Structure formats: structure tokens, C-alpha cells
Structure 1
Amino acid sequence: MSAPRTALARLSDPDLRESPAPPVPRRGGGFGSLTPERARVLMLVAARPSAITMLVIFILVYATLFAAGSGMSGSSGAIAASWLAVHQVPLVIGKTSIGLWPLLPTLGMLWLVARESAEAAADCETTELGWVVAAAVGGPLLITAVCLAVAGDAAAVVALQPPDTLAAFGWVLGLSLLAAAAGIGVRRWRDLADLLPIAVPDWVIAGFRVGVTAVARLLAVAVVLTVVSVLVHWSRIGDTYRAADGSVSGALGLTLMSLAYLPNVAVDAVSVLAGGQVHIGAGLLSLFRIDGAAVPAVPVTAAVPSGPVALWWLGLLVVPAAVGVLSGLECGRTSRDRASAPWATLTAAAVAAVLTALLGVAAGGELGTFGRIAPAASTAVLVFGWLALPGYVGMLGARWFGPAPALAGDEYYDDEDEYYYADDEYDDEYEYDDDNEYDDYDEEFDEAETEAEPAETGGWYDESDHDDALDAELVDDQDDPAPPVKSAENPDIVDAEVVEGDLPDK
């Protein structure tokens, strides 16, 4: 009776020595079904931002009514109108049309929606991102429908006309989609790019980031300029606070209103810095011309100069030029090759122009007898020019004075001049001799064989039998290894070459 044979498989690919585990199917299927855990996450996306926004509105409305000493009969209408105002929906209160609402509450609400959308999209499949967007939009739309119904009923109690239904749903839908897309895009932009029918070039991503950064820089400088202008015209602030009859609640209300409208004034200041115009009713404001007009009696409006135009104001044009040059430098440094750097610069300019236009639409609007207060539409074109032309100069500066970017397929790998690899940089200590590399291993094996006791079931193998049984060799040591033979039925399975040896009979 012969003993069982010993078979040693030789595989050329070490990753195929063990069969991979089959994929575990996700519970809940595809796009049309959800797990309970996923449904709970989507419920938070739909409800939590809206719930926090409504809670803040409740507190502010009832605190205002309590401070004013008025009744609570119109509180429901005030809450509904406040929800619509947060979403920049134009309203008519009495005979006053108001479309210029503060941007600070709107930005806070958008941040909540974007944050919840990003957290929900972090651990879901790409096919489930549609559920996240639907939840982020569905919750605000549901509350908007309720607020429209409440505003219609409250028109008989308070001087609030029912708003345009189409405009209300349009503003809520657009802002919610924008916030959800921003949150998901920040977390899963690579997966979203894979869904496109064409590959997104690297210079598009680099230009998009630089464009957003450029707008943030312009807004930061505009906020600083606004605060400095308010401090210079401090005497006007005293006049606005004296109009509040010296009451603490009135002064606090004016202060909170000024803070809420600060982003609006910053967007208008960006238009002025770029060389554009800001329309204030029948008047306008720019670095080249001032046509006086009445402004609301709010402390933050003290930053609006009354004229005349000073010559040194033209020096403020250095700000958008410097931002453009800095953006060009970043595009030149972050582009993978020199040919794509100009395209990244133009992409950054286009993104900054689009963002400026969107901010201008949200920051402007009608304000009763003051008329329409909004930046001119030409501001987006000016921002594009400031980031394209000086940006090209900055891109050339990065090309002339900065390190050369790595080319695709280059021999060297360059990542901000930190790592370099070349074939001739390896030391000789890593070289080995094919003939002698296993000598130490063979000596240790022979010593262990002589010291060990024979097995009870039989004696030692003959040396020829031992060599036949362990006739395995490492494929990595072969000078010219043969390619693995793949099965015709399943190309992922590599046929094994089996080397067998008969063991001695008992």
C-alpha cells in the first residue's frame, strides 16, 4: 500500500495563491431599496437642518414679539415669513416689497444642509447618492409648502400678502440643490467625476479649487474694507442708534441686523473692488463715480461713502490684480504639466465669475422705497478678466521661477520636489547571487534533519525520495520564467504545474 502523495503547486503570481473571498452583497439592493440604517440617515438629512433653522426662527420671533410687547396672534405668519426670507423668497409686507434679505442666515442654513449631505454621502454607494440629494431637497420643500399655507391663512391677521408659489419653491429648490451638491462634491468628487461620460482632466479640478479660493480671498478683503469704512464713518453709526430711542432692545436689534447684512455689503464691496458698480435705487457707487442716494438706517450702511471720489481709491484695483496673480501662481504650481496650466487658469477665472454672479443675485433685491440694491451684472465679467489676465502673468511666473512639474511617464517621480527615484540610485548591497542565496538555508535544514528523531511510523526517506518529494522551485529565481497558463473557461484561474514524487511504501 502506497502512502499519500505530496503535491506542491507552483504559481507565478503570489496574489493568486489563495482564492479571493466572494463579494458580500449589500443588504438593501440597489437604487430602489433602502436598509433601515440608510433610511435613518436620510431622515436626518431631510429633517435636521430644517429643524435647527425652524428652532432658531422660533426663538427670534418670540423674543422679538416679547421685547416689543405685542401679542402672539401673528406669530405663525411671522414664522412662515421668516422661513421664506431665509430662503431669499421675495415678500410683500403691507405695501412694501422686500427682496433684499440678509445673507448670513441663508449661509448658515446652506452650511447645515451641505454638512448633513457630506456625512450621509461618506459611507454610501455611488448609486445611493441620489437618495441623499432627494432627502436634502425634500425636507425644505415640505416645510415650504406648510409655510405657504400658513402665510395664506395669516394674511387675514397680519399685513402679509401670500408670496408667489412658483418663486418660493424655485428659491428653496435651487438653494437646497446647491448646498447638497457642494457637500457631496467635497466628499465624493472623484466618484461623481467617474459618472461623467468623458474623463475630467486634472486641470479642471485644479482650476475649480483655485477659483473658489480666489472668491474667498476677494470676500475676505471686502469684509476688512467694510469694517474699516464703518470705523472711519463712526459718526453716522451714532445717528442710526439714536433713531432707536435709546432702548436696549432697539440697539440690539440694529446690531444683529447689521451683522446679518454684512455678507450682502461684502458682496457689494467685491463689485466695487473689481471696478464695477453697485446700484442703490436711482444712485450708484463705484471707484470712479458716486451718485448719491438714500440708504437704509442700519449701522452697516455707514460704510457707504457719500463722496466725492478720491484719487487714491484707484489704488484699490491692486486687490483683484494681486488675487489674480496669486491664483495664476497656484495654477502653475499645481498643474501636472506646462501645457495644462493656461487651461487651469481660465477655468479658475470662469469658476470665480460664476460664483460672483450667483452671490450677486442672492445679495441683491428690492427694498421698499429705497429701490433695488444690487451689484451690476458686469461684475462677473470684470472678475473673469482680473483672474484671467493677471492670472496668466502669475502662471508664467510660476513657470519661469518655480520648479518644473513632472511629466506623465517621466523617469523621475516629482511630488513637490520631495522624492526622487531613479534606477541607478539603488545601492549594490541589495544585489544578490542566484547561486549562493540559499546556501545558509540548506545548511540549517541539514542540521535540523540530523538532530531530529525518526518518526514512529517509519524511517527516514531516502535522499532521492526526499528530493523527489520536495522538487519545488521558486519562480522568482528563474532568468526567463514562463508566463502563467490561464484557463479558457475562467481567465482568472492560473493552471498550476504539479511536481509529484512517489513516497516509499510502508
Structure 2
Amino acid sequence: MNKNTSPQSRSTPRPRSQARGRTVRAERTPRAPHPSGSRQSSGSAQRVARKAGSKAKARRTPAPLTKTGRIRRMLITAAVPNVVIVLIIMAIALGGLMLTGSPMAWWYTIVAETWMVFNLAPVSAADVHISFLPALPALILAAVVAVRVRSAIKHKVSVKDLLTLLTCVLGVPVVFTIIAWLMLWDAGKVYDVSPPNLAQALLRVIVLHLAAMAGGMGTRLWRALAKRYGVPRQIIDAAQIALRYLGYLAIGAAIVFAVVFVLNISRQGEMMDEYPTVSGLGVAGLVLMSLLYIPNAIVSTAAVLVGAEFSVGEGSVSLFSAHLVPLPPLPITGGIPASMPGWAVALMIVPLGAAIYSVYKKRPNFQDALVATVASAVVMLIACYLVSGELGYYGVTGPKLWTAAGLTALWMAVVGSAVAAGFAFVAWRTARMETGASPDDEHADTPAVDAAATDAATDTAEDSAEPEREPITDPEVVDAEVVEDQVVEDQEAEEEGAATKANAEEDSPAEDVAKRQEEPEEAEGEKRGVAKPVSQQLKDQMGEKEQDSPSENSPEEGERG
């Protein structure tokens, strides 16, 4: 009989549902959700661990040691955003020329002029000089550069790396600006364009990219540099207070400008009616240009809120008065009020609130207030410088630089000094209340103080009475220290052995435990000399005799043999 047909060789018959490879999944009882959410916590823990591991690996990655490798890496970091911007400009300019059917010879001129606009450098065409340029493209470029700088130095960086990166961040746009200037100089021989003032263009480019570099470094790196060169960390914290103050001021200025723009929305139609020849495409271009000028409007509004003036040629606007001239046909200029109401002075509460909110949580002292004042003045001066300039036939346009910077610093100085004085007074009063005590309390505490002083004097006398001990030079004492360490190790080993034995006894059966407990008792009984029963003693003696008899008879048996 074949084993396949033998009944003994047949396996247990399977259910019909599992025959011919068909399986039915067994019904599982639904698991109750874990009260602590272990799966979610384990998943989040794994993600955190993976992220921390990647960061640690990035920190362990060695930086390039050679000078060539360092320059190559930093040059790529600084060149990528500028090259990307140039490529975008070239593509947009080429598309615009193809759509409008303009000659391709204009392409180089458009690319050079647009590069100047992206870096807030002045442009000139048809004897019209414009340096009051839209700040939004430059803000985008600075943000991209700051992100690239941050990605290059967020894990590991040296001072040489920072110097190399700074040189590349400033050198690449300077080289591109010089190339664009040369292209405009060459195009000026054919077209009605002229290169701008090279010194002014390079100054704006350097200031813009230097600000991007400073912002990309981050607070942690600035604190590390301050610690390395012995600069008090308090200066970095105070500069951070100033930046927070200017940030709150910018938010308040944006809100105020939006409200004023909505209230004067009717003026937009009036301004556009004065230019009936503008087509629909021209209107779209004006709207786009207005959007690009939004950062300029925010900075100018902030300058007006602190008490400075915004000038458009011979016209000016402040919280106290307004004197306007015919403005450019831009929708954003409709937000400039033609007259200033008397209650506009109440808007000074915006810089006041921004200063208080930025200073109160940090509890600064007078030194912090001074540093924050200087930092706020410098940052406001740079911002107003970048968003102001000449606007063709209108002349100088933008906020008054030194007035805006001085008043911004004045708000911070007044509020910071007041808050610092308030916290100093509170701290002085609290210290005085803690140190000041009533006469009864002083008399009650006197015996305790005297007793403590007496005990201290007694201990001092006893210590002085002891003879001076000679320094220990005996090598045996050193060996004794090692021996003491060994003793400690032996004691720990004995404790571990006792613990292991206890665990073994817990795991062993009860009978074995009883036998192990009886054996030590018997051994202890023998050691202590406990009397055994008579029968047990006779058996022990008989056993000893039987063991001795073979040894005694062995010589006789040898003789018989």
C-alpha cells in the first residue's frame, strides 16, 4: 500500500474552506486602544530619534579642510540664489520680447536693468533717474540668500568658513552688478539708456546682501561668536529686543496703512480717470507695480507713526500735517491722505505699544535699553535708506532718514529706560522688605546666632589643637587605597551573588528550597557541637570501623599471597 494512500500517513483533514490553497482569515478580537497611545508615542519617538540622528550625523560630518574645498562649497552656496534670479529674469525678458515682437537686441539691456531693480540699485533711461525702487523683489532675493546661508552654517561652521562665506555672499552680487553696469554702458551707445552711479549701486548691493547674511546667521551663531570674542551676551539679547520692537512696529504700520487705503478707496478711481489713455494691460501693470511697492509703504508708514515725515518731492505727509502734489498714477498712492485729521496724533500709540510689548517680557536694565536703542536706530536707518531715493521728476521720495531713525530710537530709549527703572525700583523695594526685620525678630534671632558662632569657634579651636599631619608618601597607603577599592568590589559581588541565589530559590520548587535550608542548619549544628542521638553515634562508629578494617588487614593479605 502506498504511503500516500495509507490511512496512517494521511494528515489531519483540513476544513473545506482551506482546501486547494484557499484560506480564511481567522476572526480576531478587536484590540482595545491602549490608554497611553503607545503606538503614536512610539511613532513620534522614532521620528524624533531619526531627526536627531540625522542632525548628529550632519554635525559629525567634517568640514572641508582645504582652502579650495572651503571656497568651492561657500561659493556654490552664495551663487545659487543669484544665478537662479538671473535665469528667471532672462526667461521672463525673452518671453516678453517674443510676445510683443520687440527686437532681440533689447534683451541684454532688459536683463541688466532688471538685475539692478532686484538689488535696489538705481536705473536710468531717457535722462530719468529712479532710485526709489520697489522693495519686494529685493526682499525676496534677500530671503533666499538668508535661507541658503542658514542651510550652510546651521550644523558646523568655523570662523574661516564664515569669512569665506561672507566674501562669497558679497562678492557674487558685486561681480554681477559690475557686469550689468558694463552691459548698460555698452547699450547706452545704441539705446537711450545710461549706466547708474557705480558707487551708489555697489553700496546698495553690499548693504542688502550684508543684511541678508546677518539675518541668515541666526541668533545662536551670533551668541557663539560673542562668546568666542568676549562680547557680552547681553548685547545680542538687547539687539534681539530691538528687532522685535521693529517687527511689532511694522505689523502695526501695515494695519494702519491697510485701514487708510480702504477709507480712501474712492480716490483710486479719481486718479485713474486723470489718465484716460491707459489701457487694460497698462492698468494691470500699475496694479502689479503697486503690489511690488508694499514694503516701501509699510516702512514709510512706520516712519510716519514714530513722528517723521514722508516726502514726495515738494510734498510731505506726517501725523501733524499733509501737503501733497500730484502723485504718480499708482493705486497704492491712493492710500496717502490728502489732509491729516487732528486725531491722527493718537496713532503714536502704535510705536508706544510696540516698544512696551517688546521690552516688558525681557525685563531689561539700563544697559539693555541703551543697546536696544542703538540697534533700533541702525536697523531703521538701513531700512529707510533702501526704500528711499529719487523718483524721476518728483525728486527725492521716501521717509526722512535721520529723523525716522532718531525718533525710532527715542521711543525705545524712553520706554526701555522707564521699564528698566520700574523693575529696578521693584527689585530694590523687595530686597529692602526682605532684609528689613522688626526689633523683636532681631532679639529672637540673636541667641541662635550666638550659639552658632560659639559652635563655630569651638570647632575652630579643636581643629587648631590637633597636630599637623605630614604628607603621606608611603607606597603601602596607595596600595591600601587599591585594596579598599577591591574590597568594595568583592562586597558588591557578594551582594549580587546573594541576590542571584535568592532569585534561584524563588524559581526552584519548594522541596529543593527546604533541603537547601536544612543543609546549612546541619552544618551549623556540627560546627556548634550539637549532641546527636545514641543510635546515630553507634552507626557512625560502626561505619568508621568498617572503613578502617580493610586498611588494617591489607598487609596480612599481602604476606599470605
Q: Which moved more, 1:147-156 or 1:66-75?
A: 66-75
Q: Which moved more, 1:380-389 or 1:141-150?
A: 141-150
Which residue of structure 1 aligns with residue 213 of structure 2? 180
Alignment of 1:51 with 2:83, yes or no, is yes
Distance (whole Å) between structure 2 residues aligned to residue 25 and residue 238 of structure 1: 61
Equivalent position SS for 1:109: helix
Partner residue of 1:388 out of 413, 424, 430: 413
User: 1:115 deviation in Å?
Assistant: 1.6
Q: TM-score with structure 2 length normalisation? A: 0.63
Partner residue of 1:445 out of 464, 484, 497: 497
* Matches for 1:449-460 after TM superposition, within 5 Å: none
Partner residue of 1:167 out of 169, 190, 200: 200
CA RMSD of aligned residues (A): 3.2
Question: What stretches of structure 1 of length at least 5 have no aligned partner?
Answer: 1-23, 336-340, 406-434, 452-506
Which residue of structure 2 aligns with residue 193 of structure 1? 226
Which residue of structure 1 aligns with residue 372 of structure 2? 348
Distance (whole Å) between structure 2 residues aligned to residue 179 and residue 270 of structure 1: 21
User: 1:214 deviation in Å?
Assistant: 0.8
Task: Kindly provide the CA deviation profile for residues 428-451 of structure 1, in whole angstroms up to 9, marking residues without a partner as x.
Answer: xxxxxxx999977525437979x9
Equivalent position SS for 1:378: helix
Alignment of 1:291 with 2:323, yes or no, is yes
Alignment of 1:94 with 2:146, yes or no, is no
User: 1:288 deviation in Å?
Assistant: 0.8
Q: Does the 8 A contact of 2:204 with 2:386 survive in 1?
A: no
Partner residue of 1:319 out of 330, 337, 350: 350
Instruction: Output the amino acid matched with 1:342.
Output: F
Equivalent position SS for 2:327: coil
Alignment of 1:128 with 2:180, yes or no, is no
Instruction: Output the amino acid matched with 2:83.
Output: A
Q: Does the 8 A contact of 1:241 with 1:254 survive in 2?
A: no
Which residue of structure 2 aligns with residue 361 of structure 1? 385
Instruction: Output the amino acid matched with 2:67.
Output: S
Q: 1:446 to 1:320 in 2, by over 3 A?
A: closer
Partner residue of 1:273 out of 293, 305, 326: 305
Q: 1:244 to 1:391 in 2, by over 3 A?
A: farther
Distance (whole Å) between structure 1 residues aligned to residue 82 and residue 403 of structure 2: 35
Partner residue of 2:234 out of 203, 213, 216: 203
Task: Kindly provide the CA deviation profile for residues 6-54 of structure 1, in whole angstroms up to 9, marking residues without a partner as x.
Answer: xxxxxxxxxxxxxxxxxx996754xx6243xx45532322321102221
Alignment of 1:302 with 2:326, yes or no, is no
* Matches for 1:18-33 after TM superposition, within 5 Å: 28-29=64-65, 33=67
User: 1:174 deviation in Å?
Assistant: 2.9
Partner residue of 1:147 out of 176, 180, 183: 180
Distance (whole Å) between structure 1 residues aligned to residue 378 and residue 203 of structure 2: 19
User: 1:244 deviation in Å?
Assistant: 7.2
Alignment of 1:370 with 2:414, yes or no, is no
Q: Which has the higher contact order (CA 8 A, sep 6+)?
A: 1
Instruction: Output the amino acid matched with 1:33.
Output: K
User: 1:190 deviation in Å?
Assistant: 2.8
* Matches for 1:329-348 after TM superposition, within 5 Å: 329-332=360-363, 341-348=365-372
Q: Does the 8 A contact of 1:208 with 1:351 survive in 2?
A: yes
Between structure 1 and structure 2, the one with the greater Rg is 2
Alignment of 1:225 with 2:256, yes or no, is yes
User: 1:72 deviation in Å?
Assistant: 3.0
Instruction: Output the amino acid matched with 1:119.
Output: S
Q: 1:180 to 1:209 in 2, by over 3 A?
A: same
Q: Does the 8 A contact of 2:308 with 2:404 survive in 1?
A: yes
Q: Does the 8 A contact of 2:249 with 2:351 survive in 1?
A: yes
Q: 1:47 to 1:287 in 2, by over 3 A?
A: same
Q: Which moved more, 1:115-124 or 1:181-190?
A: 181-190
Q: 1:448 to 1:371 in 2, by over 3 A?
A: closer
Distance (whole Å) between structure 2 residues aligned to residue 188 and residue 106 of structure 1: 25
Task: Kindly provide the CA deviation profile for residues 305-361 of structure 1, in whole angstroms up to 9, marking residues without a partner as x.
Answer: 111x311101101111111222220330xx5xxxxx221122222211111111111
User: 1:291 deviation in Å?
Assistant: 1.7
Q: Percent same amino acid at aligned positions?
A: 26
Task: Kindly provide the CA deviation profile for residues 375-416 of structure 1, in whole angstroms up to 9, marking residues without a partner as x.
Answer: 1121111111111112333345566789x99xxxxxxxxxxx
Distance (whole Å) between structure 2 residues aligned to residue 194 and residue 90 of structure 1: 40
Instruction: Output the amino acid matched with 1:268.
Output: S
User: 1:88 deviation in Å?
Assistant: 1.9
Q: TM-score with structure 1 length normalisation? A: 0.69
Q: Does the 8 A contact of 1:121 with 1:132 survive in 2?
A: no
Q: Which moved more, 1:312-321 or 1:170-179?
A: 170-179
Task: Kindly provide the CA deviation profile for residues 118-156 of structure 1, in whole angstroms up to 9, marking residues without a partner as x.
Answer: 221232323221111122122212212221221112113
Distance (whole Å) between structure 2 residues aligned to residue 247 and residue 203 of structure 1: 57
Q: 1:128 to 1:287 in 2, by over 3 A?
A: same
Equivalent position SS for 1:162: coil
Which residue of structure 1 aligns with residue 404 of structure 2? 379
Question: What stretches of structure 2 of length at least 5 have no aligned partner?
Answer: 1-59, 431-486, 505-561
User: 1:296 deviation in Å?
Assistant: 1.4
Distance (whole Å) between structure 2 residues aligned to residue 102 and residue 448 of structure 1: 80
Distance (whole Å) between structure 2 residues aligned to residue 400 and residue 237 of structure 1: 53
Distance (whole Å) between structure 2 residues aligned to residue 399 and residue 245 of structure 1: 65
Alignment of 1:79 with 2:131, yes or no, is no
User: 1:203 deviation in Å?
Assistant: 2.3
User: 1:245 deviation in Å?
Assistant: 5.0
